[in-house]
């Protein structure tokens, strides 16, 4: 199996593609093992405390990863280069480099998913008539977590999310679950095998459970913030498409990674006591949704007072 994949990559792009894919696979395996080991050794509450401490060391105006931001989904046009399967390990991270300039457009990176959602929800096609569904049934691995006949369960859940948003408006995961964070983060006693298995932020789409976990509670659309304040999709692409489809002006999101240059602006705003102390660049970004928690000392109206994790219902026909 591994040899077959290696040969396929070599045929498609030669040695350079093979080396690149091998490097990606090594990084993936290392992340998989590390996340699994953390969850095997720690309760969910301990894991969250440790992860936030690890990611926020040395950051002055560090944000609470649980705090929601309210953004316009129509402004999100790019997708993050970070691997989404281990998104929870990156909560509160600050990263330098050019990762925010190496982002594909959502409609290009996920064009096949966009076409499937468009066919279903805008053109009214039955799922069995959607090309992507047929490709999955034929064995193509094009839709993560949907393989073979499992695709029917997957599209049924998509329909349920779509109907919920259309009926009730877009609601945060914590509002849908209706439990406080401490309840969701209470110690769990899953089997070691289950705890070693990585989780994604799609739990409210992929499974239902009587026991709400910390990962369910944090399962909102996740974004990264680039150096100039661009909101970049990190995870939750199906819900983001639905929010854009319904023309929503505001949705709750969790910030996963911030660029170090953006974090420097947050630090500057947090340290200031008046707008006059700020650089021109910082002033231009004062109304950014990710500044809501650091501009409180500036003596200016807070136009998004509900952005700090308070549950809200955004009316819509997502």
Tens-digit pLDDT profile for residues 15-64: 776 677 677 777 778 877 888 888 888 888 999 999 999 999 999 999 99
Q: Is the pLDDT reported for residue 181 higher than 90?
A: yes
Closest to 264 measured CA to CA, from 254, 274, 278: 278
pLDDT tens-digit series, residues 60-71: 999 999 999 999
Which residues lie closer than 8 Å to 183 by C-beta, 6 or more apart? 212
Q: What is the predicted pLDDT for the residue at 207?
A: 47
Block residue for tokens 């150096």: 227
Chain CA centroid to CA 185, Å: 19
pLDDT tens-digit series, residues 232-256: 999 999 999 999 999 999 999 999 9
Which stretch of 43-47, 110-114, 146-150, 257-261 has the lowest confidence by average pLDDT? 146-150
Q: Is the pLDDT reported for residue 105 higher than 50?
A: yes
Cβ atoms < 10 Å from Cβ of 108: 11
Block residue for tokens 């329909």: 159
Q: Name the band, by pLDDT with cuts 50, 70 and 90, for residue 13.
A: low
Q: What are the angstrom distances between the C-alpha of 157 and each of 134, 202, 208, 309?
A: 17, 11, 10, 26
Task: Give the chain's mean pLDDT.
Answer: 84
Average pLDDT over residues 165-192: 88
In whole angstroms, what is the distance from residue 171 CA to residue 251 CA? 8
CA–CA–CA angle 289, 292, 295 (5° rounding): 130
In whole angstroms, what is the distance from residue 92 CA to residue 58 CA? 12
Which residues lie closer than 8 Å to 21 by C-beta, 6 or more apart? 5, 6, 9
What 297-302 contacts at long range (C-beta under 8 Å, 24+ apart), as own/partner pairs, is 297/270, 297/272, 297/273, 298/269, 298/272, 298/273, 298/274, 299/274, 299/275, 300/275
Q: What are the angstrom distances between the C-alpha of 56 and each of 66, 92, 95, 269?
A: 13, 6, 11, 18
Contact 246, 165 (CB under 8 A): yes
Q: What is the predicted pLDDT for the residue at 7?
A: 63
Q: What is the predicted pLDDT for the residue at 199?
A: 64
Please report, in angstroms and rounded to a whole number, the separation of the first and last CA atoms in the chain.
Answer: 39
């Amino acid at each position: 199996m591994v040899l077959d994949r290696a040969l396929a990559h070599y045929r498609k792009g030669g040695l350079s593609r093979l080396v690149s894919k091998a490097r990606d696979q090594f990084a993936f395996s290392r992340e998989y093992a590390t996340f699994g080991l953390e969850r095997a050794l720690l309760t969910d509450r301990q894991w969250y405390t440790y992860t936030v401490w690890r990611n926020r060391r040395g950051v002055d105006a560090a944000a609470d990863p649980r705090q929601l931001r309210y953004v316009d989904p129509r402004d999100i046009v790019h997708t993050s280069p970070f691997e989404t399967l281990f998104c929870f390990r990156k909560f509160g991270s600050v990263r330098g480099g050019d990762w925010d300039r190496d982002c594909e457009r959502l409609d290009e990176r996920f064009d096949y998913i966009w076409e499937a959602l468009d066919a279903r929800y805008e053109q009214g096609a039955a799922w069995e008539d959607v090309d992507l569904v047929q490709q999955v049934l034929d064995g193509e691995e094009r839709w993560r977590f949907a393989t073979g006949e499992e695709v029917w369960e997957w599209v049924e859940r998509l329909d349920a999310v779509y109907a919920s948003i259309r009926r009730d408006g877009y609601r945060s995961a914590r509002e849908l679950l209706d439990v406080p964070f401490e309840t969701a983060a209470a110690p769990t006693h899953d089997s070691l095998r289950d705890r070693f298995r990585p989780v994604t932020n799609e739990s409210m789409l992929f499974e239902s459970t009587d026991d709400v976990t910390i990962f369910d509670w944090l399962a909102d659309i996740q974004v990264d913030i680039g150096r100039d304040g661009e909101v970049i999709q990190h995870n939750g692409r199906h819900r983001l498409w639905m929010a854009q489809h319904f023309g929503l002006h505001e949705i709750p999101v969790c910030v996963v990674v911030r660029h170090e240059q953006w974090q420097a602006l947050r630090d500057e705003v947090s340290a200031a006591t008046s707008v006059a102390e700020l650089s021109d660049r910082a002033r231009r970004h004062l109304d950014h949704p990710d500044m809501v928690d650091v501009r409180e000392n500036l003596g200016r109206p807070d136009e998004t007072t509900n952005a700090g994790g308070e549950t809200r219902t955004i009316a819509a026909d997502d």
